Amino acid sequence: MAAALNVPPHGTISPYTYHYLFGLLAATGLRISEALALQCNDLVEDGLVVRNGKFGKQRLIALQPSTRQALEAYIAIRAKHPAKCNDLFVTIRGRAPHKVRAHVVFVRLARLLGYRGATGTAGMRLHDLRHTFAVRSLESCPREREAIAHHMAGLSVYLGHASIANTYWYLEATPVLLRDIAAASEQLFQGEAA
């Protein structure tokens, strides 16, 4: 996020836009298309209204107080720069950046910071911020089966998944979660064998 503040052109809204955009993606797990479709009035008292989710779904997501404060700080900065529309995130053109541009800026920053190799090599992607959010959310969940089931259902709605089956994929995404699944499976197997 700090590196995004050095995105050219300096002295414009663009560096702040990428700084706060990437921060919002990491803090909420939004899709880039959802974040870029946000309007200034989508920040409401109860959270953030995502009007243009995948498959046309709309949802309200809760925000941590620090995320709300960051968005309010960005809105105050944005108010000092001319905008041609009500898009929340805008660049020097006064409109939201295209998602391809956001991807390009992110990849350049990831390379600059050493998180990604040269062109043509695999490395950190913008969508990985969403995956990291989901995995960290699951890792922080209590380990009881019922708690995990409730958490999965809530996370599925929060992320805007069409089906909870799309959320279960994240259980396989880290060694921590896989170890927990293996331990639970082993206990279940040992119980059936007895």
- What is the set of active-site residues? 31, 54, 127, 130, 161, 170
SS3 39: strand
> First-to-last CA distance in the chain?
53
Return the number of other C-beta atoms located less than 10 Å from residue 155's C-beta.
19
Question: What dihedral do alpha carbons 21, 48, 35, 69 form, nearest 10°?
Answer: -10
Residue pair 5/19 in contact (Cβ under 8 Å)? The answer is yes
Q: Please answer whether residues 4 and 18 qualify as being in contact, where contact means their C-beta atoms are separated by less than 8 angstroms.
A: yes
Q: Buried (b) or exposed (e) across 81-95, using 16+ Cβ within 10 A?
A: eebeeebbbbbeeee
Instruction: Count CB atoms within 10 A of the CB of residue 27.
Output: 17
CA distance 29 to 160: 10
Pair of tokens at residue 114: 């050493």
What length does the chain have?
194
